[in-house]
Amino acid sequence: MTARGVFYVHSAPPALSPHIEWAAAGVLGVPVSLEWADQPAAPGTLRAELHWEGKAGTAAGITSALRNWKLLRFEVTEDPTPGCDGIRYSFTPTLGVFMGVIGANGDIMVPEDRLRAAMANAAVGKTTLEIELDRLLGTPWDNELEPFRRAGDGAPVRWLHAAV
């Protein structure tokens, strides 16, 4: 089953750029050469974008390969395929990884057990329901990444097809 998605590197130190390409290549199974550009939202860092095609689960693989690199901000999306929902992973150094299942209309779909846990945490006073729902929807990640996303408007787009 072929899946498609986008890998957005929102900010990375220049010294990490070849390592990011190698990590993505290791997941995709083909060489990766990203077109790096300055990231105006964080001077001294770079940004890149890669449209990819590969097997289902590739977004999770890319995220797993990069999730411990504390100097990166990135997102990886994977479009839905038969039998698999769409998904978005977001990563920031301060928040770590967010994973959201994406419905056909583009909304984040929150599983029932996660909603019940949020309600239980709010009921016992560990947090508020508003804070829990914001976390389930990825609001803190969106708030932190939005300036980096806007700085990439108009960036070039490349497609990369994985070896299958």
What would the pLDDT profile of 27-61 be if each residue is shown by its tens digit? 999 999 999 999 999 999 999 999 999 999 999 99
Q: How confident is the model at residue 163 (pLDDT cuts 50, 70, 90)?
A: low
Number of domains in the chain: 1
Q: Could you tell me if residue 20 is inside a domain?
A: yes
Whether 125 is covered by a domain: the verdict is: no
pTM score above 0.85:
yes
Residue 104 domain-assigned (yes or no): yes
- For residue 9, list its beta bridge partners: 48, 74
Q: Is residue 158 part of a domain?
A: no
Per-residue pLDDT, 155: 52
pLDDT > 50? residue 158 = no
CB 86 within 8 A of CB 56: no
Which structural domain range is residue 97 located in? 2-109+138-151
The residue type found at 105 is: N
Q: What is the mean pLDDT of residues 21-25?
A: 97
Task: Confirm whether 63 is domain-assigned.
Answer: yes
Percent of the chain with pLDDT over 90: 84
**Is the predicted pLDDT of residue 68 greater than 80, yes or no?**
yes
CA 99 remoteness from chain centre:
8
Is the residue at 157 inside a domain? no
**Cβ contacts of 45 within 8 Å, gap of 6 or more:** 11, 12, 13, 14, 38, 39
**Is pLDDT at 77 greater than 60 in this prediction?**
yes
Provide the pLDDT confidence category of residue 135 given band limits of 50, 70 and 90: very high
Beta bridge partners of 108: 102
117 within a domain of the structure (yes/no): no
* Structural tokens at position 9: 């590197």
124 found inside a domain: no
